[in-house]
Structures are given as structure tokens and as C-alpha cells.
Amino acid sequence: MNILHQEPRIVVIGGGTGLAVLLKGLKKYTSHLTAVVTVTDDGGSSGRLRAELGVLPPGDIRNCLVALAETETLMDKVFQHRFMQGSGLEGHNLGNLLLVALTEITGDFVSAIKEVSRVLAVRGKVIPATLEQVSLAAIMKDGTTISGETSIRNYSAAIRQLFLNPRDCMPVPATLDAIMEADAIVIGPGSLYTSLIPNLLVTGVAEAILKSPAMTFYVSNIMTELGETDDFSAADHLRVIMEHVGCQLFDYAIVNTGVVDDERLLRYRQERAIPVNEATDEIARMGVRLLCNDLVSDTDVAWHDSDKLARVILDTLAAAENKAQGLGG
């Protein structure tokens, strides 16, 4: 068994449910976690707050803070509470409102996140990908340019290329510091075009990952996603990232080989989603090493199992450490 001799410094980059799932697993093994979270969401409660108050969308940040909380408490449940009725309140999440209120009280979003981190006893740091009011735009394969994350998701044609407005938005300096000091950098799982790639388009982020001495991992999704990755293989995901950043960023690709049961498959087929093809030979030809495991959670959705996914990353880091120290493994 490979054992790490100290808690590794891990940077995870993404957004949405996938990032929160990964953080829940990793926090059991290290407190040196930095989550870099996309801020292009313009739908739901986050989108309404962004449009009405001009704040950064708090939803993905909130989910990561709750995922990294030391233990599940009543405050975690309060933070995730969603109002089901009430004029102006219906659909809003209480945690989103608290983050917005703290931003106004403290004067900036980063300070608001730090205050919530203290209240929830968060293991690690959560950092927005940028503090600028950035929006996502895409050139579709039919030549149309679409602005806004929600509009891109809902458009009928496939995506050819993403870009940010403004294109030269800058990262939070702490993001670049964390990337350069990391032992591991993990991108995914999550929506390829709307949760992962936007972070890599922020000025200097992809370049920092390339320069970092950290081991780099891409976590492939278990299922395809309607409107984003229809019929995509794991290799297709990697290829699209490479096309957007101009280089290959990853040492390893983590690919699920577990079976999604028929009951869950039936529900996903209604959303026109299918299991992501492993495409292991194609990934190997890209020069990316494969880590293939049964990673499917024992739930009613085809998500990654938090602990299984974390163990793949931690075991790979430990094996590399042991090899460097001449311990085998």
C-alpha cells in the first residue's frame, strides 16, 4: 500500500456538482486544498443575483464551501436551504444571499468567502477564477456567436470554440501561487464547456499549470451531457481542452470503467446522455497516462464516488513519492 508522508497540496479546478463531489473525497486526506471555481454562471438564483445586484455568481462557490466543511452541521443545511415560495425569494438559495450580503458588508467577494469559510470550518480555500464580471461566449458550429452560459447550453448547434468577455480577465493572485506550489492539480469532473474550460481561459492559468511542477490529472465525466458533449469519448474531452489552451496539460487521465446499472441508464437516456466511451488507446497516443477504475457512486445518479476518486489521486501521488524515495510501490 502506498502511503503519503505528509498531506499533499492539491489544487482542484472546475465548478458545478462535479467539483463538490471531488472536494468531499479529498478533504478526508488533506487540508491543503485550493478550489478554483468558475464564475460564468448566469442561470437560477446566481444569475438573478448577478443581473440585479452586479455581484459574482455565488452558487458554485457556495457548493464548494459546503463540500469542504469540516463536518455536516445545521449551518451547512442552512447554507444550502432554497426558498420554495415567497415573492422575490422563491428559487433563491439562502447561502447565495448570505454570500452577497457579506460581500456588501466586507467590501469584497474574497473577504465574504473567507468569513463563510470560518463559520463552516472549511478545510482548505475556495477562490473564484476571477474577480472580474466575466461572461462566457461561444462560436457554434453553425457559425453563430452566442453569449451567456445558459444560452450556450440551450442552443441547438454544437460548440466550436469558447471565449471569455473580457478576454483578458485576470485571475486572483492566490490562484497562481497555489498552482505553482501544488503537488497535484486536478481538473474535472464537470461540464466540459461551462465548468472546466472557462477557468483555463482566464489569463495565465493554463500557462501556470504548464509551468508548475505538480502532477496533473484530468477526471473524465462518467456520462455525456446533452448540448455540450453529445457522443463524446474521454479522449474527445481531452482534445477539446487542448484545442482551447493550445497545449497538453495532463500527466494522467482518470477514466471510469465501472458499469452504470440499467435503471440509471434509462433515466439518463431520457436526457439523451450515455456513458462516456473510455477511448483508452486514443488517450495513450496523446501521451497521457491512464488511471482506469470503477468510480461509479452507489447512488441513484451516475456521479463519481467521492472516496474512490480521491483514493485514485492520493494513491498515484503516494506511488510517485515512494518511487522518488526508492521505496518501490
H/E stretch holding 160 reads strand 159-165
Strand partners, 122: 69
Q: Tell me if 56 sits within 8 A of 41, measured CB to CB.
A: no
Task: Count other Cβ atoms within 10 Å, centred on residue 96.
Answer: 23
Q: What is the pLDDT of residue 2?
A: 62
Per residue in 112-143, is it b (16+ CB within 10 Å) or e — as a string?
A: bbebbbebbebbbbbbbbbbbebbbbbebeee
Query: pTM value?
Result: 0.94
pLDDT at res. 3: 63
Query: For residue 55, how many C-alpha atoms fall within 13 Å in the half-sphere facing its CB?
Result: 25
Determine contact, residues 196/242, Cβ cutoff 8 Å. Answer: no
What is the set of domains in the chain, with CATH numbers?
A: 21-38+167-329 (3.40.50.10680), 40-128 (no CATH)
Q: What DSSP line would sit under 232-255, residue for residue?
A: -BHHHHHHHHHHHHSS---SEEEE
CA angle 188, 20, 61 (to 5 degrees): 105
Q: What is the pLDDT of residue 227?
A: 84
pLDDT average per 10 residues of sequence, the chain (329 residues): 78 95 96 97 90 92 93 78 83 90 94 94 96 96 95 91 96 98 97 96 98 98 93 96 97 97 93 94 96 95 96 96 73
Q: How much is the pLDDT for 328?
A: 54
Predicted pLDDT of residue 327 = 61
Q: How high is the pLDDT of residue 6?
A: 87
Is-contact 202 169, C-beta < 8 A?
A: yes
